[in-house]
């Protein structure tokens, strides 16, 4: 498997863990813990509207005396996440993630969320 020829589709994580924007942060955090994953993709219907990561959760605990875990995840997620198509090469995906300093990259095909690639996925290939 080479970085120049293998595609993100070959290493993407499926199924994608999605949550609605109305879910409380505590419920999303529980999903992350149980599934042992670093991010949940926030979808409204079929539309990707955000990403909530373990770093977002950590930020809540380090910036507030009493983290509002009952607030909707939509108030704490990264909005309008950057995406790539799953047929981009691993090299292109890794460079895109590096250039934009992101650890989780949602993959969208014809407007539909089909997977996600994390830095961990890329390390397994390297």
List pLDDT tens digits, range 64-76. Answer: 677 788 899 999 9
Q: pLDDT at position 100, please?
A: 96
Sketch out the chain's domains with CATH numbers.
8-125 (3.10.580.10)
Dist CA 117 CA 97 (whole Å): 10
The secondary structure element, H or E, covering residue 117 is strand 112-118
Tokens matching residue 58: 């950590």
Indicate whether 27 pLDDT > 70. yes
Q: What is the residue whose two structure tokens read 């909530």?
A: 52
Indicate whether 78 pLDDT > 70. yes
| Confidence band, pLDDT 50/70/90 cuts, at residue 126 | low
Indicate whether 2 pLDDT > 70. no
Residue among 126, 124, 125, 122 at smallest CA distance from 98: 122
Dist CA 58 CA 78 (whole Å): 14
Q: pLDDT at position 5, please?
A: 76
Q: What is the residue whose two structure tokens read 């380090």?
A: 62
Indicate whether 36 pLDDT > 80. yes
Segment 56-63 shows an average pLDDT of 83
| pTM of the predicted protein model | 0.87
């Amino acid at each position: 498997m080479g970085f120049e020829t293998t595609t993100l589709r070959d290493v993407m994580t499926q199924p994608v863990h999605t949550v609605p924007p109305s879910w409380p942060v505590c419920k999303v955090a529980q999903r992350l813990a149980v599934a042992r994953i670093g991010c949940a993709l926030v979808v409204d219907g079929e539309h990707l509207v955000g990403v909530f990561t373990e770093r977002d959760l950590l930020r809540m605990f380090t910036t507030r005396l009493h983290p509002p875990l009952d607030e909707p995840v939509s108030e704490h997620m990264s909005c309008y996440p950057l995406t790539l198509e799953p047929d981009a090469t691993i090299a292109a995906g890794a460079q895109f993630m590096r250039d934009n300093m992101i650890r989780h990259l949602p993959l969208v095909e014809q407007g539909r969320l089909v997977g996600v690639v994390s830095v961990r996925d890329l390390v397994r290939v390297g």
